[in-house]
Amino acid sequence: MLKAIIIEDERLAMQELVNNLYDAAPEVQVVAKLSSVKESIEYLSGSSAADIIFSDVQLPDGLSFEIFSYTDIETPVIFITGYDEFIMNAFEYNGIDYLLKPVCKDDLGKAIMKYKMLEKHFNSGNKRMDSLINQLGGKKKTRLLVRKGLENISLRLDEIALFYTENKIVYVVDHTGRKYLADKNLTDLEEELDDSMFFRANRQYIVNINFVKGFKAYEKVKLLVDLTLQEINHCIIISQETAPAFRKWMYEA
């Protein structure tokens, strides 16, 4: 069973898409029908166990690309629209295919087949589907969902100065010095982050190059990182073993 989400604001277009989808691929199960950017963000911010998303581009309250900018999901998307002007944008937001309206059963069948072939290919190499999306669209993670009290906040990664762990809790510090909680450990974050922007300084810290003022020698063989934000009063030490990689990262920035 292939679980699908459909994002479409026109009721008749929605029903036609569902009918054609079932005809083209009977194994597809539509688990949610959404009709706006706001509704989709609210739904996808929760636990959505879909395998694929079919999404119109133009919705009543904006372009559907906003949905994938503000939600931390990596589900592959097949975009559907009456215009071809957004085709390049589509592949920046989890897109694996782009169909023009009116969409027929053959188009949907080919799109589903493409998804299955790509999934099989990447799974056979023990890679997750997010590897597929990153390679097809060159998509870089641009936001991170963090917590402050009971509130969930979407932070832009380029505004995050550093991540650090203390007493098994991972903290996120933004460009103003405000502190938040992360739901992932530093190792998982390191794998997701753009390594041209973020560097794992040691077991406790990941730093953003945009907030590194410089560094100096420390205990002869180590390095002491100097951050631009005075509000961040942390002693970040680079070990002798890691120092060459850190220097290279700084020089090539």
Q: What are phi and psi of 119, to 5 degrees?
A: -60, -45
3-state secondary structure of 164: strand
- The model's pLDDT over 117-169, given as tens digits with 9 standing for 90+, comes to 877 765 655 445 555 555 555 555 788 999 998 889 999 999 999 999 998 89
Token pair of 174 as six digits: 């933004």
pLDDT surpassing 80 at residue 9: yes
Give percent helix, percent strand, percent coil of the chain, each to the nearest 5.
35, 35, 35
In CATH, which superfamily holds the domain spanning 143-251?
LytTr DNA-binding domain (2.40.50.1020)
Percent of the chain predicted with pLDDT > 90: 49
Residues linked to residue 145 through DSSP beta bridges, in sequence order: 154
- The model's pLDDT over 38-66, given as tens digits with 9 standing for 90+, comes to 999 989 887 667 899 999 999 999 899 88
Domain ranges of the chain: 2-137, 143-251
pLDDT surpassing 70 at residue 179: yes
pLDDT-based confidence at residue 70 (cuts at 50, 70, 90): confident
* Four-way CATH pick for 2-137: 1.10.357.10, 3.40.640.10, 3.40.50.2300, 3.10.20.30: 3.40.50.2300
Higher pLDDT, 123 or 228: 228
Q: What are phi and psi of 184, to 5 degrees?
A: -120, 155
* DSSP code of residue 12: H
Least trusted range by pLDDT, from 87-101, 113-127, 194-208: 113-127
The per-residue pLDDT of the chain, averaged, comes to 86
